[in-house]
Amino acid sequence: MDKLLEKNLLDPETEIHYAYHKSIKSITDMHNHDFYEIFLITKGSVMHLINGKKELLEAGTLCFVRPSDTHCYASDGNRSVELLNLAFSAHMVKAMFAYLDDGIEADRLLNCAMPPIKQIGTFQTEIIRDKMHEITVLPGMHKRQIRSEIRVLVADIMMSCFSERPDTAAAEAVPDWLVDLANEMRIKENFTEGLPRLYELSGKSPEHLTRVVKKCFSKTPTEWINEIRLQYAANLLVQTDDAIVTICMEAGYENLSHFYHLFKERYSITPAKFRKGNRKVAIPASGQTAPSFYEIPEYQNRTKSRTV
């Protein structure tokens, strides 16, 4: 069995190694390593031999492999496979989990018997693939920028794909397809389109979907979508200075009075009062019309000194 070493594979400045494989011929030997890796199946399927077990991984499968894992790939005999692989240092992982703190269950991800695996949708797969390509084609002289952007991307992947969200925490009681659907419906382009998009992504009949959602989440599909939309609207009210009517539209509502009704029903307060009670700004308002740059005393003093 081969053991791959960080010092031989990872760039010492970026702390990563990235590869996009269109064949598994060169990556099939059983191995482990002293670094971490994330791989994503972008096309086809592959047999993954991992820690003494065999798994068939389809397109959209995202896997987090730890130094304690031993694995290799094998053809499933039916389809070719394409996968992207990002290897990164133990130092980067330690820093990432320290930064994320209690927002992610580090112990569960690092110490479970099998490596964490997540099935993501086509949209998320394309986002990760495109972002990875965008970062890794930066000129080599920009290695610090590459390292920083990779850290942000890996942290985002870990939080969005491997952390236990409140509505999917009881994964044992929720079908895998519904867990995946819940992740897909957190994407703005999906939840703003509402029920039609939910039905399209699920691949289930409206009747079957309604029964399962009600059983697992104790709410109807409409209530579920409204919950996601209203949370998004609440975030915009606090984080932006957009007009309430703009936020209403951004959240997927076409009727302002309906939005007000649903928001007050959920938060027991109007959007305007919610914003007033929760919004904090880092740039204090003077209550007056902002002065032009040339009216600022400090600038006037500097200007005068230059003309003397």
Task: Say which residue, 80 or 213, is predicted with more confidence.
Answer: 213
CATH number of 176-278, picked from 1.20.1090.10, 3.30.980.20, 1.10.10.60, 3.30.428.10:
1.10.10.60
Task: Say which residue, 51 or 172, is predicted with more confidence.
Answer: 51
Report whether CATH 2.60.120.280 matches the domain 2-162: yes
Phi, psi of 85, deg, nearest 5: -135, 125
Residue 194 near residue 252 (C-beta atoms within 8 A): yes
307: pLDDT strictly greater than 50: no
Residues 226-243 pLDDT 10s: 999 999 999 999 888 899
Residue 143 near residue 11 (C-beta atoms within 8 A): yes
205: pLDDT strictly greater than 50: yes
What whole-number distance in Å separates Cα of residue 114 and Cα of residue 51? 7
**Domain range summary for the chain, segments of one domain joined by +:** 2-162, 176-278
170: pLDDT strictly greater than 90: no
Identify the weakest region by mean pLDDT among 198-202, 270-274, 276-280. 276-280
Residues 21-67 pLDDT 10s: 887 775 668 899 999 999 999 998 889 999 999 999 999 999 999 99
Question: Helices 256-267 and 221-239, interaxial angle, to 10°?
Answer: 90
Residue 144 corresponds to which tokens in the numbers above? Answer: 């610090």
Residue 229 corresponds to which tokens in the numbers above? Answer: 């939309």
Please give the average per-residue pLDDT across 144-158, as a whole number.
Answer: 89
Sign of the CA dihedral with 73 first, then 75, 79, and 80 last = positive
303: pLDDT strictly greater than 50: no
298: pLDDT strictly greater than 90: no
What whole-number distance in Å separates Cα of residue 255 and Cα of residue 101? 40
Residue 143 near residue 14 (C-beta atoms within 8 A): yes
pLDDT for 172 equals 41
How many residues appear in the chain?
308
Residue 118 corresponds to which tokens in the numbers above? Answer: 């997540």
Residue 306 corresponds to which tokens in the numbers above? Answer: 């230059």
pLDDT averaged over every residue in the chain: 84
112: pLDDT strictly greater than 50: yes
pLDDT for 268 equals 94
Residue 62, number of CB atoms within 10 A of its CB: 21
What whole-number distance in Å separates Cα of residue 162 and Cα of residue 168? 11
pLDDT for 293 equals 45
Residues 60-69 pLDDT 10s: 999 999 999 9
Residue 41 corresponds to which tokens in the numbers above? Answer: 């199946």
